[in-house]
Amino acid sequence: MVVGGGFAGASCARALRQLDPRIVVTLVEPNGTFTACPFSNAVIGGLRELSAQQFTYERVAGDGITIARTSATAVDAPLADGAKLSYDRLVLAPGIDIRWGALQGYDEAAAGQMPHAWRAGEQTLLLRRQLEAMDDGGLVVISAPANPFRCPPGPYERASLIAHFLKTKKPKSKLIVLDAKDAFSKQRLFQAAWAELYPGLLEWVPLSKGGNVTSVDAATRTLMTDFGKHQAKVANVIPPQKAGRIAEVAGVADRSGWCPIDPATFESKLQAGIHVIGDAAIAGAMPKSAFAANSQAKVCAAAVATLLAGGTPSVPKLINTCYSLVAPDYGITVAGVYQPTGGQLADVPGAGGVSPSDAPRETRKAEAVLAEAWFRTITTEAFG
């Protein structure tokens, strides 16, 4: 049984069936349509429609996977609709939940004024509409959280594509990124591109310069830091996160809110027979990305198929590449290879890296095209 039909869960369910068609797979997922986060920053920046992000489960069902259209509310207890499902092996892939209240003043009601847009859908459209409605000359503020969180380069890709929107549609406006960190993914590449493409428009304020947001006031769209306050016309608060709630209920999340796993099989270190993949897992050096979720899904499916057959899973190597758009025709990447080392997933030394800092614009353009191709591949593996 697989709980959660996102990048991790849907890919794992399909991989299990491909590995051994005798394995009976049920996918538990409440939504009939999945809305993907990768490329949702382009929706916010007005470059893409939300419909291009949406996928159904028809092909997944076509693979002979039973879809239970409901939420898992407990493990070893009935589902939300009262039904009970039993399993030999359980894979939990619930993604993230927002830690409501961890940032003072930021609760579900506040997200209606200051969208997080960190789960794609209505929140994505709300942030886009707010940007479209803002007068030219307005201040946009993004607050980025401390590690760990879903999609480490995501806040900076978002800043870039909002800056692109402002530059082309509302050039008197300004964008400030308030950051709870002093360093971030692909930092040198992002900052070089910002200096070239968005000078004077986009300002990044690190932790050490007063970037850490300590509380927010949704009514006035004000963000407080240790150093002062910023009143925004549009505020995008990316709040602290944790594993999807079912992980805690199932007893596989630790005090950090995330789920420790065996790096070879993704079996929980806290509950035997339950595997955790995707953003919910503590995957060592691997970032919380859709690419990583897909890599983990395949490794976990192979381990589960082997365990069900009474075998011993092999030691895997996993890959991740994160593409980011800095402008519609300007892409940058970071890639890594990972292997179990000392009970964790660690970087394979010498593998991976980032786009060259001195690449010509043709290379940036080519990476933007590759990003789009990657999105088609990853969504096809999960849903199509």
Q: Least distance from C-beta 147 to ligand FAD, angstroms?
A: 14
Asked whether position 279 contacts ligand FAD by CB under 6 A, the answer is yes
Asked whether position 250 contacts ligand FAD by CB under 6 A, the answer is no
Q: Which residues contact 20 (CB under 8 A, 6 or more apart)?
A: 305, 308, 309
| CA distance linking residue 161 with residue 157, whole number of Å | 6
Residue with tokens 């990124």: 177
Given 212, 225, 265, 289, the residue binding ligand FAD (CB under 6 A): 289
Asked whether position 95 contacts ligand FAD by CB under 6 A, the answer is yes
Q: Least distance from C-beta 61 to ligand FAD, angstroms?
A: 15
Closer of 205 and 334 to ligand FAD (Cβ): 334
Asked whether position 379 contacts ligand FAD by CB under 6 A, the answer is no
| CA distance linking residue 203 with residue 220, whole number of Å | 21
Asked whether position 323 contacts ligand FAD by CB under 6 A, the answer is yes
Given 242, 288, 298, 364, the residue binding ligand FAD (CB under 6 A): 288
Given 1, 4, 142, 152, the residue binding ligand FAD (CB under 6 A): 4
**Closest Cα partner for 127 from 235, 263, 21?**
235
Given 31, 33, 56, 104, the residue binding ligand FAD (CB under 6 A): 31
- Angle between the N-to-C axes of helices 122-133 and 154-169, in degrees from 0 to 180, rounded to the nearest 10: 30
DSSP string, 185-254: TTHHHHHHHHHHHSTTTEEEE-GGGT--EEEEEGGGTEEEETTEEEE-SEEEE---EEE-HHHHHTT---
Sheet of strand 2-3: strand arrangement: 66-68, 26-28, 2-3, 90-92, 274-276
Asked whether position 202 contacts ligand FAD by CB under 6 A, the answer is no
Asked whether position 367 contacts ligand FAD by CB under 6 A, the answer is no
Strand extents, DSSP E, 328-370: 330-341, 344-347, 353-354
Asked whether position 239 contacts ligand FAD by CB under 6 A, the answer is no
Closer of 225 and 320 to ligand FAD (Cβ): 320
**Stretch binding ligand FAD (CB under 6 A), from 29-37, 106-114, 261-269, 352-360:** 29-37
Given 91, 93, 141, 327, the residue binding ligand FAD (CB under 6 A): 93
